[in-house]
Structure 1
């Protein structure tokens, strides 16, 4: 079966996780594991704790913090091993961040 990355993000300047969201994450994590479709999952620490690396004219430029794109920050990802993109989309709809942010469904190159 193909694998799909469910990459969840939100704009912390506009909204963010709800105080009572943790049980929703535990329930989602349990459901995806029990369904046998979980290949991998990880949440990320705040963007300020990372680095952005780019190479220009052969020289590396390293900046503390992750470069913002459109204001949204990637908060984490799940990789699911499911039948097709429609099944992956169904799992993406259940990710708590989808209620205030968004979830990209991306086929994984293997």
Structure 2
């Protein structure tokens, strides 16, 4: 089954971490990517830019409107994700726990839907 491991981050909490901790978290992603590439469980990944770079597009009454900022007002924001393929939900949870950010922030584990619906 495919899963999205979604990294949620609070920028104020990230900035409050010592520089060496932030550097270790970032370096830990390299090791995590190597591990999942080796096991064949990694489908893809991306880190996302700071929310200040976000624009939101909406079409209402046939008109496109683009506004600054993310759609939701929240203290936490989507920082990045890993798309994986895991044999069991427990394995997906285990891998989520290995993401370096899990020590400081939340990692959401969400099944990815196939075109016909949930792969459950």
- The whole-number CA distance in structure 2 between the counterparts of 1:69 and 1:106 is 22
Matching residue of 1:8: 7
Once the two structures are TM-superposed, the CA of residue 101 in structure 1 deviates from its matched residue by: 1.1
Larger Rg: 2
Tell which deviates more after alignment, 71-80 or 57-66: 57-66
Matching residue of 1:19: 23
Q: Secondary structure at the match of 2:71?
A: coil
- What TM-score do the two structures reach when normalised by structure 1? 0.85
Q: Which runs of 5+ in 1 are unaligned?
A: none
Aligned counterpart in structure 2 of residue 44 of structure 1, from 40, 43, 48: 48
Summarize deviations over 1:67-100 as a string: whole Å, max 9, x none: 3443111011101111121111111001111111
Q: Secondary structure at the match of 1:9?
A: strand
Q: Secondary structure at the match of 2:13?
A: coil
Q: Secondary structure at the match of 1:28?
A: helix
- 4+ long deviations beyond 6 Å: none
Matching residue of 1:103: 107
Q: Secondary structure at the match of 1:70?
A: coil
Alignment size in residue pairs? 109
Q: Which runs of 5+ in 2 are unaligned?
A: 115-120
Q: Secondary structure at the match of 1:83?
A: coil
Summarize deviations over 1:38-94 as a string: whole Å, max 9, x none: 111111111111212234455443212323443111011101111121111111001
- The whole-number CA distance in structure 2 between the counterparts of 1:58 and 1:21 is 44
